[in-house]
Amino acid sequence: MGNSALKAHLETAQKTGVFQLTGKGLTEFPEDLQKLTSNLRTIDLSNNKIDLLPPLIGKFSFLKSLVLNNNKLTALPEDLCKLKKLETLHLNGNHLRQLPAAFGQLAALKTLSLSGNQLRTVPTQLCGLRHLDVVDLSRNQIQNVPDTVGELQAIELNLNQNQISQISVQISHCPRLKVLRLEENCLELSMLPQSILSDSQISLLAVEGNLFEIKKLRELEGYDKYMERFTATKKKFA
């Protein structure tokens, strides 16, 4: 892409606070964006070939939304964690294996999408995020859900299409969790904590495509309690 085209995008972004440059074959984060660190509220560089986020990403102190779906990122810089106003982070379809240690400092984060990466566990850093609403970890390589999940503040957790065969009973202690998606994993019915049904806030549990028949779920103790929550929630949104 020519310099004049980039210049035009930068001029527009300066006025609108939005820089969007998708599907242009970019191999690196545009350095020129650092001229706009105090202007930008949204950066969308999806469908490119970016394999590295430079430390300068931490300078965009007013950034609310960062979208880098379908790039070639293998890691994220610690500097990303300086974005105190960031509310939305979409990193679907990259090659991420883990999150930076300081990820829990993204205090304003509400929506996090990491679908289609190479995560092997639910990152413990997510438990420090108090305003998190939606977490999408579908299509990764997660095999178990650890005890730390009980501190997760999210309302919706999507773990579809992983390799999960074990879930900590602590998941039923998540204070705000209403929607839990576990479709197409490797769960035996005996590995699904019954407290999810009998003693949690979860009002939508999606478990199709595991190693048991759904009708068996209905025979479990606590299923009637789960159905009460399910029906009450449905009525609320009807």
> 92-126 pLDDT, tens per residue?
999 999 999 999 999 999 999 999 999 999 999 99
Task: Give the residue among 179, 84, 185 at the shortest CA–CA distance from 139.
Answer: 185
Which runs of E-coded beta strand occur in 21-139?
42-44, 65-67, 88-90, 111-113, 134-136
d(CA 68, CA 49): 10
> 161-216 pLDDT, tens per residue?
999 999 999 999 999 999 999 999 999 999 999 999 999 999 999 999 999 999 99
Report the percent of the chain where pLDDT is more than 70. 99
**Which pLDDT score is estimated for 6?**
83
Torsion of CA 197, 202, 206, 207, to 10 degrees: -40
CATH of domain 1-95+107-114: 3.80.10.10
119-237 sits in which CATH class? alpha beta
- As given in the structure block, the two tokens for residue 158 are 């999507």
**Which pLDDT score is estimated for 2?**
64
Domain boundaries, the chain: 1-95+107-114, 119-237
Classify residue 66 as exposed, middle or buried by CB count within 10 Å of its CB (0-12, 13-18, 19+): buried
- As given in the structure block, the two tokens for residue 112 are 């996090």
> 13-40 pLDDT, tens per residue?
999 999 999 999 999 999 999 999 999 9
